[in-house]
Amino acid sequence: MEKINQTREVEYNRAKLWQIILFSLNNTSTNIYLFAFGFVTYFATGILGLAVLFVSQIMGYIRIFDGVIDPAIGVLIDKTNMRFGKYRPNIVIGNIISILSFLLLFNIDYFGKELAMPLFIIALIIHKIGYSLQATVTKAGQAALTNDPKQRPIFNIFDGIATSILFSGGQMIVSSFLVVKYGGFTHAFFGAFIPGVMVISSVLALLACVGIWSKDNIAFFGIGEKTKETSLRDYWFVLKGNRPLQMLATAAAFVKFVVQIFSDQVMMIMIFGIVFGNYGLSGTISMILIFTGIAFTVLAAALARKKGLRFAYITYVQVAIISIVVLAILLFIGQPGSLRFDQINIFTILFVLTYAVARGTSQAPAGLALTMSADISDYETSVSGRFVSGLIGTIFSLTDSIASSLVPMVIGFVLAMIGFSQEYPTQNTLLTPELRMMTVLLAAGLPLLMLICSLVFMKFYKLDSQTMVEIQEKIQVMKAAKDKQRAIDIANNVPLSDMEFINVSDYKVDHHVKK
């Protein structure tokens, strides 16, 4: 049989543009807590009086805990089948838990110093449970939202825009307004900052629920009513046998480390407050990053729609590697006063361009991985008949958590080596040769190593644009099978490479499956 025109034959589950836009806000809803989490270290050391090394290690361990519980949360989401769907209940419950955890966390000082340490740990644990519940839906829900390879990258456009505005705009507001108004990371600063975080996150969570509303039912889960039931024992076989999941989750973890270290508030102080002598510059450059971040995101999505998500991911990581090499050189030669916007010089132009490219090209692959997790969920459905988007989403969260947990631990350990064991450097800390070298190591050396590792693992990730078309074609045939058992037989016995022998238009599966 002549090979069919796959892109014309497959009937995709497409979402309306407004649905994609609103659902993408769920990631922003959780990311605003991630942004606020970057200031917890200053609250813990400056207000609660906890030691730097203790706080950095606890923050790392809490992120590891987050990763450990993620698979269980993924199974919980997969097993959820409530009147209001699979995803919406977890968005709402997760957001409420996050609110309660922050109410406790940033009021610990009222309970007395003797309770500061245990309450700090308890509040962090509660927060991570709520955060994981809601954040996992961002990855898992995309499998139900749309399965069109041309439409899925659109999610990254709006997610990238919102993420750029959140992190860059948030940094500007904190460094140029709140820190100035309240005299640093004081109790008054957190009293104004944290309520805003909770309100904005809640509104975005509700909008995300509206976006996923019509897709949050069994008709859009895998192959619908024909989807194979998954026992707890089966989850192990999914993890063991899904090679694309293993490769991408690991590659994305390395990229996550880079994104996390770039946005860490201690690193912001070290780069802008100490190396360049003006922490307020971080707010100014963050305004620029809003526009460059959006541009890189839109270009990444356009490239993904044309060449596939895998191609766009690899291309951006390669560009990020080159830009970080240049960034290392600029940080090594930079001095207080070198970077300035009142009298722009060659160094300022070079640094802003390099820093914007490094941030933009490392952030975009992290966003692409969110959508690629939906591709992996479809791959699993095509080879086993199961729909386990929750588990697959939380495996990414697991590796993300392990990677991001290393950031505060590594920063705390490195700073302790050069004498900052009791408190973090501040914008008033003098620049020393040791502090400069550690800044270059943390801001460029380690990110460079992480991105190279990510490229190595992406070599073994095979879900390119053509393969994804074949996967959607096979899923459509499975949906059209005469019964559930026949659908599962197709999943188990028909390799993707044999899809050219199946006539998608008339679904005469029995006549074309190779024996």
Task: Give residue-wise pLDDT tens across range 27-74.
Answer: 999 999 988 887 888 888 888 888 877 887 787 788 778 777 877 888
pLDDT digits (tens, 9 = 90+) for 310-351: 999 999 999 999 999 999 999 999 999 899 888 888 999 999
Between CA 157 and CA 162 the distance in angstroms is 9
pLDDT band with cut points at 50, 70 and 90 for residue 9: low
- Kindly report the pTM of this predicted structure: 0.77
Six-digit token pair at 248?
A: 């991408």
- Whether the predicted pLDDT of 14 surpasses 80: yes
The reported pLDDT for the residue numbered 507 is 44
Q: What is the pLDDT of residue 498?
A: 56
97-156 pLDDT per residue, tens: 999 999 999 999 888 888 888 999 999 999 989 988 898 898 888 888 998 888 888 988
> Between these two residues, 501 and 157, which has the higher pLDDT value?
157
CA distance 498 to 42: 57
Residue 7 reports pLDDT greater than 60: no
E strands, 406-514, where? none
Give the Cα separation of 109 and 431 in Å (integer). Answer: 32
What is the per-residue pLDDT across 343-398, written as a single tens digit (0 to 9) for each? 888 999 999 999 999 999 998 998 898 889 889 999 999 888 888 888 888 888 77
User: Which of these, 242, 371, 401, 394, lies nearest to 310 by C-alpha position?
Assistant: 371
- 3-state SS string over 244-255? HHHHHHHHHHHH
Asked if pLDDT for residue 6 goes beyond 60, the answer is no
Distance between the two ends of the chain, CA-based, in angstroms? 16
Contact assessment for residue 502 and residue 513, using Cβ atoms and an 8 Å cutoff = yes
Does 513 score more than 50 pLDDT?
Answer: no
Looking up tokens 């519980």 gives 69
Per-residue burial over 146-181, b = 16 or more CB atoms within 10 Å of its CB, e = otherwise: bbbbebbbbbbbbbbbbbbbbbbbbbbebbbebbee
Residue 296: the pLDDT is: 92
Q: Is the pLDDT of residue 505 over 60?
A: no
Give the pLDDT score at 506.
44
Q: Check residue 5 and give its pLDDT.
A: 39
Residue pair 47/109 in contact by the 8 Å Cβ criterion: yes
The structure tokens 């989850």 sit at: 235
Q: How confident is the model at residue 194 (pLDDT cuts 50, 70, 90)?
A: very high
456 and 318 in contact (C-beta within 8 Å)?
Answer: no
**pLDDT of 500 above 70:** no
Query: 197 CB contacts (<8 Å, ≥6 apart)?
Result: 32, 33, 35, 36, 102
Domain 21-470 belongs to what topology? Growth Hormone; Chain: A; (1.20.1250)
Cβ atoms of 341 and 172 closer than 8 Å: no
Q: Which pLDDT value is given to residue 509?
A: 41
Taking 60 as the threshold, does the pLDDT of residue 511 lie above it?
no
| Domain layout of the chain by residue ranges | 21-470
- Tokens representing 337 are 């006063």
What's the average model confidence in pLDDT over 163-191? 86
Of 300-304, 335-339, 437-441, 500-504, which range is least confident?
A: 500-504
